[in-house]
Structure formats: C-alpha cells, structure tokens
Chain A
Amino acid sequence: MQSKIKFLMAGTLSMSCLMLGAANAADKPEVIPGWHNAVPDGKDTPLHDPMILYASGGVDGKMAIIGIPSFKTYRHVDCGVDTHEISFGGSNKGNKNGTPDGKYVYLNDKGANTICEFDLQTGYLARVIALPFPFGVHHIAISTDGKTLFGTGEYSGKMSKTDIKSGKTEVIDWGPAPSAPDYIDASRDGKYVFAGNYYHSTVGVFSTSPFKLIKEIPVGKNPHGTDVIPESTLVLVSDKLSATMTIIDTEKLAVKKVLPTCAGPLHSVMDVYNKDGGSYRAGIDSPNGLTSKYAYESCFVADANVKVDLKKLEVVDEIPTHYRTGHISISPDNSYVMALNKFSTGLFSPTGVIFPVNFEMWDAREKSPTYGKTLRIMPVDGEPHNAKGLMAYLIKDWTKGQAEQGGLIDKRTEVLDPLHRSLSRRYFIPKETTPPGVKVVDGVKEIHMKAFSYGYIPRQVRVNKGDKVRLFATNIDKAAGITKNPDVTMGLTIYGPYGARSNMDLPRGVTAVHEFTADIAGEYEIFCTHFCGPLHLEMRAAFFVDDPKKGPSNLAVGDYDKAQHLPGLLEEGQLTVAERVKGL
C-alpha cells in the first residue's frame, strides 16, 4: 500500500523529479481524492519535499525554510536585523549551493554586522559571530575547506576572513575610497576569493593565505554578482549598469569575454553535474570533477532570467519573470530555477502599505513539456536576498519526537534568540514637508531625512554621543529610476549598533519616525533595506556619532570595540565576539 501511494505521487506530480524512495514500476497508480496525498510511511507530514531552500529574509531579519518543489514555507528562524547571504557549512565545491555537510548554515546580517550560525538539524540559531567595526558586511562566502568565512565590508571598503571555530576575524583595507566590496565568491580550489566593488567597477582578486589583494580586474559599470562556476575556471560577473556579463578566467586572472546579456543583470547561478554526468548529490557523489552546462543570470530591469551556455559562452535563452528579479537560485538537482523577485506589482492582494515580494520557480528541465514556464509563484516574508538549497536527505528525520536520538540533542544545546534586538520607539506620521536637515527640539536632535532613488538627503548626519535622536524619514520617490514600479518602498537602516533601532520601512505617503539614543560613537553607514531599483545598493548615507572628547568620528575614530558587543548577552559561549586584528 505504501509503495502504491508513493508511486502515485511520483507519477501524478509532474514536478516530482527526485522523490526519495524509488517508485516500483509494477505498482498501479491509485486515485486518491482531494489534495491531501499522504505518505503513511512513518512520517507525520502530508508532504515531503526532496529539496529544501534556505532563504534570507532581508528586512525581517530571519531565515525562511521553504520546500522545493512544493514552495511551502516550513519555518522562519530569527537572526537579527537585515539578513543577506546564505552559506552552508561544509565546502563551497559544486555550484552556488555548495557541498553542505548538513551541520550548519551561515547567514550574514548586514544590519547588525554579524554572521548567524544555525544548526541545520535542530533548526535553531546556535551562535552569532559579531564582526569587527567599522566593517558593514554585505555578503559572505565559505572556503573550500569549510573552516573560513570570507566577507565583504561594503560600508568601510574592507574585506574580512573569519575563522569559523574561534570567530576571530582578520580585516584588510581595499582602497582607495570610495570603495564598496559587495558580492563575493571563493574559488573551488581554495586559492582565491573574488569580490565585486561597485564603486571601483572592478573585481578584486584576493589570495586566501595570506589574505591580501592580488589585483583588481576592471569589469563593466557597477558590478554586482561575482560567481565562480563549479569547475572553478571562470568567474561570472554581472555588470549592473553595463547590461553585460564579464567572464573572468581564473588562471590568467584576466577578462576572457564580455557578453551582452540583459538590462540590469544582478546575479548568476549554475547547474552542476557529477563526473558521470548525473545531478550532483552532496554527501553521496565525489565533489571532484564537477561540471556545469548553463548559468542563469537574473536581469532586474529586463524582468527576465537569461540562460548562458558555459561552453559556447553565449546567451541561449531568456525567460520572463514577474517582476524585477534580484537574486537567483537553483534547486540542487538542477531542475528548477528560483527567481527571487523584488516586485509583485499587481500579482497579489494588498497587505497594507507595503506589498509583498515573491519567489517564482520556473522549469529549467529542457525536455520537460513545461520548460521555461513558471511552475510556482508565492509571496514571501520580508524582502529576501539570497537563497540556497540542499537535498532534504541531509536533514535528519526527527519528526516523531526522537530528537535525542542520533546525537541530535543529547547534551546541553544552546539556543539563541537574537539578543541584540534593542529598543527604539517607532511610529508613522502623515507625510511631512519639513526640509531635510538636523534641528534641536526640546533637547532632542530631530533629523529629517528624505529617501529617493538613489540616495538620502542629507547624505551625512552628525550628532553627539549621548544625544536623544528622533529620526524622521520620508520616501519622496515617484518613480524609482528605471524601474517605475508604483509600489516602491524604501528602507533606512543605520548598520551596526543602531541596526535594530533604525530598521525603518518607508512606504510612500507617510513619514516614519524612530526615537533612540545615540550612545556609541563612530561612523555608521545608512543604507536602504528595500530593494528599490538597480542602484539600491548605492543608496547610502552616513550617521556620525561624535564623541566631543575624541573629536569628529571617522572610520578610525569611534567606539568601535563597544559597537561590536551586542546587548543582551547572557553568558559566555552564546556569542562569539571577533577580535579586531589588523588593518584598522
């Protein structure tokens, strides 16, 4: 009976490409009425997905766990303020999904300047690695040996190398200013780290040991996605403002080809095959000799994903998406591409003054009758950034209350809530017309800021340490340059110690107000947390908290040691505070 039902699932769900428990071809299908195709085989859920997608939630500060291909959201796990890049523990071999060992998943928090470590098996936040200040981590990438996380310091023009075990972090400068390292990837042979710099319009090549800049390779204007292919021979760079993909040869460390792709390219993912040509299965297949056939690049402005043949290095297909794809993800079995769309204009019921964004899954199997078609589209929480998938067999089955078995929880296991969530008073008022600037009202520094695409007015705000701050922020956008979507929401977050206090949503037509005390000196970048358009990343300003005793703050002057200690720490071991080592 059980196998009959399994067969039915495999046969009737057109997307069930990789069901666990092979179907017995001799069994005849049996029709079960209704939606509830139960699998009564000892598991107590109505549906098991063969793959699981881990998605950063962006402004909601969480990680979403989503089934593929059901596109059902299983859980949301808290991390902090504004999460960005998912990176599985294990190894970076393979495609963007890497080779997860099933132990941990790392997620960087751009708002709090931390890296959250989740235990994949318990599904809980296990540790928070606090990064040094000033830094402003944009993305992270795991090393080939799985021992190190590399990070980009978008808000300080720096790069980091964090030892995962100890949490100790080495920081180096990447000048000259203005410098904004953003997307990062590490070569699969462990030699190099590649990172785009959207102010330099280059890709920086860093040796992993010693950790230093080797050279800068000029690419198109304002590059974003910097992605190494599974063979580790090429780096695909999405030249945001040049409508091209710059392909870098990792041996020569030089540009191999510049490929016109689409308007507003942002990120790329690739499929991955084992050395026998089958889909690569992490933990089962050897991670050596992996190959890839196609890369898929997201095109924000063109509302499309383009497919690039990695042998011929040419665009072979273009798939429309709905709408404004930012990050892009591929299922671990190469079957589906997930367009992580930034706008859902008109697709879903309104949810208030902020509309949902969506994930769209399209069929990437060339022989499928639905190739290139959208199979699922769902509104998602927050404003997600990257998402990566793993095969569901990497997560232990503990659903029958046997979590103590198999060493899952057999000793004291720390479970963290994001302790550094700190207080600010926040409210909306009707859209104000006060000119931008700072004024003092009843001893409170009132900061009036306007957000537009792409920037803030004023771009620099100075307050004194200890000041009570009342921050008014108004979205004055009508058309967020080039995108023209009518539902553009802006965000405003001051990274680091002020991250949780200022994680503002700025829908059109209102003014958001946050009140907090500026008690830690330093220069902290202000950034936009809602992907408002192609130059969303470049939408920045700076918040200076000056200590009268030390003089004006800058990247060298400030209470940076204090900034990295997150409030709410209960006892040692729950939080790893990385030390500032050098380059500062």
Chain B
Amino acid sequence: MKNAKLKIGLIAITSLGMMWGSASASAAPEKRCTAGGQKVECPTITEAEAKAASDRFTKEAESMGTGEGGSTYGIAPFDYLTGVGKRTAASDAGAKAGTYKGDSGYALKANAGQVKTELWDRVKAPSSDGVTDKSVYDQWTNNWSPKFGETLVAGADANQGKSYYYSYCIACHGWLMHGDGPSASELNPRPRTLTRGDYMQKKTNLELFAIIKGGGEAAALSSSMPNWGNVLQDQDIWNIVAFIRAMQDVPPPKSVTEYLNPKSTFKPIKGDVDALNAAQNKDFQEMQELIESEMTGRAPGSELVGGGYVKGGNRINAADVTLKVKK
C-alpha cells in the first residue's frame, strides 16, 4: 500500500524531467532479486524509461555546444549529472523562474542581484559562508547537493559518500538514484533504483557494503555492477552506504530547499553491522576476506593489502565521524 502511494506521488512530480514512470505498467516482471531470503522483482526502471533517460542525456549533450543554457563559454551551462547550475523552480523565493539568477543558491543569499552563470563561479563558496580550509574540501560536489546533519549509519558520513556517489555511481544509477543514469539503457539487468524503500529496507548494510566493494557477483546479483573495492577505501564505501540510506524514498524535489533537505524513510535494521562496529563483526570480517582475496592490486606478503585507509585530510576514521545517529 505504501509503495503504491509512493509511486503515485512520484509520477505526479515530473517537473524536473526525472523519468520514473509506473513500474506497474510493465507486465509481470521476473522475480530475479533476493531480499530477506525471498525472490522479489528487482526495482529498476523499464526499457522505455531507460531509453527516454538516455535520450535526454544525448539531447543535452548535443545542444551543449550552442550554449542554450546561457553559459558564456557555451559549455556545461547545466550539469544534469551533478545538478550544478540546475534551474530553480518558480516557487523558490527570490528566483525568477526561467532565469539563471540564483541558480547556485549563492546569489540569493550573499550577493543579491549578482548573476553567476559560470560553472567556476558556482563551485566557489562565498566567504560569507565562513569557509575555512577544511570545509572547502569537497565543495565541488557539496555546494549544490543535499546536506545531512545526521547519519543513519553509525560512523559513516553521507555528506562524504555523496561526492563519491556523484563521481562513480551516477553514470548508471542516476542523479537521484532512480537507476536512470546515462548508461542505464545499455545495461541488462538495469541498474538498481536505490531509493525504493520497499526493497532497500530489506537489504542489510552488510549486503550493501559487500555489493559496492565486491560488485554484484559478490551477492549473486548482476555482473554489470563492478567491484569498487580497488578504487574506494572502506570508509568511503561506508559513507556511500550512509548516503544511500539517507535518500530512501526521497522523491524528485520540487524546489531547491526540498532538494537540499531530503527526508529518508530508512529505519536501521536490528543487529545490522555499521561502520563503527564493523571491525568487531564476524560476518563482516568473513565477507571482507572473501572479497579481498579476489581483488586486484593486492600482492600477498607485501604492503599492498588492506582497505587503503590513510588517516587525515578529508577522510576521517569511522570513530571520528561526528554526525549523530538519527534515532
């Protein structure tokens, strides 16, 4: 019942052009995914939806050279993938619908009347935000993306995970995690829709971590999901897990404010492993051993083993994540 409502809600919101469509329209999809020991229908987009999403990317890319978005450089006026430069809706106070004034969010706040159209301007945080050396890290992806004051996975920071999601996952899973990234139409099975609470709520953190680190095959799922364990450090993977949890059942936003403050429906699963207690969890250790034994770039007996963790900078240890766990 809850799912049906969600679908209706999502279909209604198409102002941003994020195709969702109705999963119910397709005829009895095959139950080829496992959740909680049960075979279930995989939450992915349909063939038609994937194609429509793909066509939109192509269209945007083709019109890029003419600078339709208003950039003086004629390049990347609006980035569909990161949302940088996304037009504001008329409902946002102060922004005139259909103009680029205030698109970055900064013009409205700090420099009223000043139009920032260049990508470069947008990623520069204004000094009025009290930017310190530490907080300028990640600004590329942080400035125009959801912000999280709490975490749903102890010891993991969704704000950090988000920037890796936008770098690595977005091509297939899409800007809003709906499984409609530009490459989605080329994959079979399609990339998972990561916001679907009816499915994701049944997946444990352990499973999510294993799939990101070891690829789809680590959980007997699609081989199209690559293993990222030789690209991402363990803590980065935990941060991505936190980001996925924080976006559960979040619909396409109607305004910038809504976009920046997503409300997740995720409830921590009892007895599940998290970034803080992973080191003590036996199941987690077993999974790690199994996945790492198959991984590239790890020479037995040399220094080239482990989770790649180097203390300091923008990467903080699970124990040092200050975000409170949402109760």
Contacts and interface: CB of A to CB of B under 8 A. Distances in A.
A437 to B, nearest CB: 6
B175 to A, nearest CB: 10
A50 B311 CA distance: 48
B82 interface: yes
Chain B: interface size category: 35 or more
A299 B168 CA distance: 19
Contacts of A541: 226
Interface stretch (B145-153, B203-211, B276-284, B302-310): B302-310
A453 B299 CA distance: 27
B140 interface: yes
Interface string B47-73: 000000010011011101100000001
A481 B167 contact: yes
A530 interface: no
| Majority DSSP secondary structure for residues of B touching A | loop
B300 interface: yes
B80 interface: yes
A535 interface: yes
B125 A260 contact: yes
Nearest to B140: A243
A176 B297 CA distance: 10
A303 B310 contact: no
Nearest to A462: B294
B231 A177 contact: no
A538 B231 contact: yes
A201 B315 contact: yes
Contact of B226 (A175, A262, A455, A477): A455
Interface string A567-584: 000000000000000011
Given A303-B76, A457-B223, A486-B64, A318 B120 contact: yes
A320 interface: yes
B230 interface: yes
B64 A345 contact: yes
A435 B144 CA distance: 36
A177 B230 contact: yes
Given A199-B231, A260-B125, A457-B226, A221 B171 contact: no
B61 A479 contact: yes
A127 B226 CA distance: 39
A544 B260 CA distance: 44
Contacts, number: 249
A436 interface: yes
- In this complex, which of B61, B124, B229, B232 has the most chain A Cβ atoms within 10 angstroms of its Cβ? B61
Interface in B149-178: 163, 166-168, 170-172
A304 B118 CA distance: 11
Interface string A286-303: 000000000000010111
B141 A241 contact: yes
Report which residue of A219, A302, A323, A541 has the largest number of chain B beta carbons within 10 angstroms of its beta carbon: A302
Interface string A428-446: 0000000111000000000
Contact of B79 (A178, A453, A484): A484
A263 B138 CA distance: 10
Contacts of B128: none
Interface string B222-235: 01101101111100
Contacts of A554: 298-300
A273 interface: no
Interface in B1-19: none
A386 interface: no
Nearest to B230: A178
A179 interface: yes
| Chain A CB within 10 Å, residue with most, of B79, B163, B167 | B167
A460 B57 contact: no
B138 A176 contact: no
A460 B227 contact: yes
B133 interface: yes
Nearest to A302: B120
A556 B231 contact: no
Contacts of B188: 435
A482 B304 contact: no
Contacts of A360: none
Contact of B182 (A450, A459, A478): A478
A500 to B, nearest CB: 22
Given A220-B313, A481-B81, A484-B61, A452 B138 contact: no
Interface of A: 134, 155-157, 173-179, 199-202, 216-222, 239, 241-244, 257-258, 260, 262-264, 299, 301-304, 318, 320, 323, 345-346, 435-437, 450, 452-460, 476-486, 523, 525, 534-535, 538, 540-542, 544, 554-556, 583-584
27 contacts: A173-B299, A173-B302, A175-B305, A177-B298, A177-B305, A199-B308, A200-B308, A201-B313, A218-B312, A241-B138, A242-B139, A258-B133, A301-B119, A323-B75, A435-B188, A437-B223, A457-B224, A478-B61, A478-B183, A479-B60, A481-B166, A481-B171, A482-B79, A484-B76, A542-B296, A555-B299, A583-B302
Interface of B: 54, 57-58, 60-62, 64-65, 73, 75-76, 79-82, 84, 118-120, 123-125, 131, 133-134, 136-141, 163, 166-168, 170-172, 182-183, 185-188, 215, 223-224, 226-227, 229-233, 294-315
Given A176-B305, A244-B139, A477-B183, 16 more contacts: A199-B233, A218-B312, A218-B313, A218-B315, A221-B137, A241-B141, A242-B314, A243-B139, A257-B133, A302-B119, A457-B224, A458-B226, A479-B57, A482-B167, A484-B79, A486-B64
